Amino acid sequence: MKRSHISSPRSFSRPAISALGVFLLFLLGLTLTSRKPSGLAPNRRLAGKSDIPRLAYLVTGTKGDVKRVKRLLGAIHHPRNYYLLHLDLQASDEERMELAKYVRSEKKKFKNVMVMGLADLVTEKGPTMLASTLHGVAVLLKRAKDWDWFINLSSSDYPLMPQDDILHIFSYLPRYLNFIEHTSNIGWKENQRARPIIIDPGFYHMKKSGVFWAKERRSLPASFKLFMGSTSVALTRPFLEFCIWGWDNLPRTLLMYYTNFLLSSEGYFQTVVCNNKDYQNTTVNHDLHYTHWDPLLQQRALNLTIEDFHDMVQSGAPFAREFREDDVILDKIDAELLALTDGGSELKAPDVVKPTLSWKRLEKLMVRLLDHENFRAKQCK
């Protein structure tokens, strides 16, 4: 990579941008370098890396989601990243073909986009959702080279800032940080999630249905500690290689355990990362999403008020959930936050990053998350 072709913070005219690098590197030096994880690949530099990273996205949808997936792809696309699109088995072959034709028709722009041809059956609340995510990770590990973070998005997610801002801020972060919401204080989820035994028919049938409940219940495991959190993650390539290739037996053991676990996608990665000594100190307890939990607001399909929109923007999160197709707020996000025209982004060079003022919001979030006391206090416990 030729640095002369990269719009790095040092080349901008704004003095504040160069101050960002100094401040973040100073902060990360105090917070992170004293306790580096011990099991990471030696060819990966751990702190102060200012090279622009690459992100690998898995975008998932189901029947009727082609339009939403197209719009989301246009909003998050950057030629530096990799994208894998997956419509589950409930979607028709015609829908998958439509999505593949769309990507091929925009080949000049979307040459870093793949569409998964062999669809997975995904059962709501079942472990087939986790299986589908691991399938997507495996494809990205095989087909996409040299990416740094994996991010999973559903068709109901949407970005709150351009990719340039995310890449700009992530270029200053140590490449071993895993952004994953997690807690071992599972409370009511012990009886509702951990003790029941379920069977996901998606492993055995071709038609989508609900999970089956067994009469028996199980005790909590003694050989590992359960952690739970959000299904949305931003995980490093080395950690996911550990999960897929499993040179330690932990990922396979936990995968068997979570096969009969309700909503296993809310616990598998959390339990793996927090029960392995090489990765348990790499976690940032945040899923990089803004979520509004007001039930009435969700019924209104996130038709936000001006105050709600302001809160969402000021959260600093790069993504938000959940939006419905053609929600009016998406037009507002496109116009005011993403500067998109016709639902898509301009054609860019892969080594050029031109951040907008949105990077300041993400910087503020990262500074808070990586504060020395906040960062260590919210890791695996």
Confidence check: pLDDT of 47 > 90: no
295: containing domain: 54-381
The answer, yes or no, to whether residue 38 has pLDDT greater than 50, is no
Question: pLDDT tens, 203-245?
Answer: 888 777 888 899 999 999 999 999 999 999 999 999 999 999 9
2 lies in some domain: no
In a domain, 334, yes or no: yes
Between CA 235 and CA 289 the distance in angstroms is 14
Question: ∠327-331-336 over CA atoms, to 5°?
Answer: 140
What share of the chain in percent tops pLDDT 90?
63
Cis before residue 322, ω within 30 degrees of 0? yes
Residue 1 has pLDDT above 80, yes or no: no
CB 160 within 8 A of CB 319: yes
What pLDDT is stored for residue 344 in this prediction?
53
pLDDT of amino acid 48: 42
Q: Considering only CA atoms, which of 139, 95, 94, 141 is closest in space to residue 116?
A: 139
Is 148 part of a structural domain of the chain?
A: yes
Domain CATH number, residue 238: 3.90.550
Q: How much is the pLDDT for 304? A: 61
Q: Give me the pLDDT at residue 16, please.
A: 44
User: Residue 9: which pLDDT band, with cuts at 50, 70 and 90?
Assistant: very low
Provide the token pair at 184: 């071992």
Mean pLDDT across the chain: 84
Q: What pLDDT score does 234 carry?
A: 98
Average pLDDT over residues 189-201: 91
Is residue 153 in some structural domain? yes
What is the pLDDT, as a whole number, of residue 373? Answer: 81
Residue 31 pLDDT > 70 = no
Rounded CA-CA distance 126/259 in Å is 8
| Tens-digit pLDDT profile for residues 251-290 | 999 999 999 999 999 999 999 999 999 999 999 999 999 9
Residue 291 has pLDDT above 70, yes or no: yes
Task: Give residue-wise pLDDT tens across range 322-362.
Answer: 888 888 889 999 999 998 865 455 667 778 899 999 999 99
**Each residue of 125-151: pLDDT tens digit?**
899 999 999 999 999 999 998 999 999
Confirm if 163 and 81 have CB atoms less than 8 A apart.
Answer: yes
Q: In this structure, is residue 306 part of a structural domain?
A: yes
pLDDT surpasses 60 at 29 = no
pLDDT above 70 coverage of the chain, percent: 81
Confidence band of 96 (pLDDT split at 50, 70, 90):
very high
In a domain, 40, yes or no: no
Alpha helices per DSSP H over the chain: 15-31, 66-76, 93-105, 128-143, 163-170, 189, 237-245, 250-257, 268-274, 295-299, 306-314, 328-333, 359-369, 372-377
What is the total count of domains within the chain?
Answer: 1
Q: Cα–Cα distance between 20 and 364 in angstroms, integer?
A: 10
Give the global pTM: 0.86
For residue 151, tell me if it sits in a domain: yes
Q: What is the pLDDT of residue 171?
A: 95
**What pLDDT, on the 0 to 100 scale, is given for residue 308?**
78
Residue 27 lies in a domain: no
Predicted local confidence at residue 293, as pLDDT? 58
Mean pLDDT of 77-89: 96
